[in-house]
Amino acid sequence: MQTTRPAAVLVLAGALALTACSGDETAPASAGGDGSPAAAEERASITMAMAAEDTYTAEWWGWLAADNLGYYDELGLDVEFVATGGSGDAMEQIVAGNADAGNPSAPAFGEAALVGLDVVNMFTYSSGAIFGIFVPQDGGITDIAGLDGANIGISEPGGGEVAFLEAALRAEGIDPITDVQLIPIGDGGPETLAALDNGSVDAYSTAYNDIFALQTAGYDLLDLTPDIYNTFPARGIITTPAVLEEKPDAMADFARGTAMGMYFCLENTEACRDMMRGAIPAAFEENADGVSQGDLRFELSLQQVDPADLERIGAHDVEGTQEFLDLIQSTSDDYQDVEAEAVLNDEFVDYANDFDRERVAQDAQDYELQNS
């Protein structure tokens, strides 16, 4: 027996607290049933803003697998995945109503919530550090305290790593305004390599994707990222209460299809690595040592996307999210108090997980590699 779709969500006047409205439509029988197409139901569509210029990164295999395997399609849902310029751009598209949902990084989502925008995470896709703090292996700095007085490279002004970096510095009594200098040095390309090679920066704070680019170029870095960052949310299905009110059924099916794609990949990781190679082949081009950025990011993602409870794919860590919001808030007096429960919606998790796991596991077993 399938559960009904979760209720629509409304914003209470003047607050980000969410309240549920009742719905009476039942879920398509095909979703977790016999796998047949949702024939009698009118098809729905949503637009998903992906926080990358190439639509996918090697971490986002849950969405790619669900799309490739037809799980969204059999739920009667057409999903358009749209590349954006990054997390900030994806967040802007969501808030402006140009996209129904998106996967901006947790800092982009958190900052939007902390300035009072009506945004909500309806499905946590991954947890753990997206951004980190790194120093040259032989540079003499071995901890965050050693960054006092340092020149620290960042990807760009306002990059998602900046809030994390500033909070980590403050925790060690280092003022990020007066005690260090933040210098934009790009996102792992030639400009970044030159800055590290010529010593114009003593450290580099950026996304792990950028670090993988340096690693495949043969550059050794020491990771100083505080362990607490690994408890934080990384990415989710971020949307607005208005979309949840307008399209509760479509968003519910999107959550379920995504959970199915994630479960498939966790049952057969090589199948999804294979799909990623087909979707973003450049990322999987190997260096002379046989290492690729795509493989490095994919291996890390297997830890970050794997849910704490496989029966509750997409569930939120409320405590970790609250710690994350509090940390981001500590970096600016302009941010308001936000309770994690106010921006986390768990109405969709039960429905998302009510699918036929045996059938999806069989799909995973039967998959034949195409791009290896």
pLDDT digit string (tens) for 147-183? 999 999 998 887 778 888 998 999 899 999 999 999 9
Q: Where are the domains of the chain?
A: 8-128+233-366, 131-230
Quick one: pLDDT band at residue 25, thresholds 50, 70, 90? very low
Domains 8-128+233-366 and 131-230 share a fold: yes
Burial class (CB in 10 A: 0-12, 13-18, 19+), 323: middle
Query: pLDDT tens across 249-270, in order?
Result: 999 999 999 999 999 999 999 9
Which pLDDT belongs to residue 9? Answer: 31
Q: What is the CA radius of gyration of the chain?
A: 21
Q: Which residues contact 18 (CB under 8 A, 6 or more apart)?
A: 9, 10, 11, 12, 120, 241, 342, 345
Cα dihedral 51, 307, 319, 208 sign = negative
Model pTM? 0.83
Q: Taking 90 as the threshold, does the pLDDT of residue 358 lie above it? A: yes
Architecture of the domain spanning 8-128+233-366: 3-Layer(aba) Sandwich (3.40)
Question: For residue 164, what pLDDT is reported?
Answer: 86
Class of domain 131-230: alpha beta
- Give the C-alpha distances (Å, rounded to integers) separating 74 from 63, 238, 254: 15, 23, 11
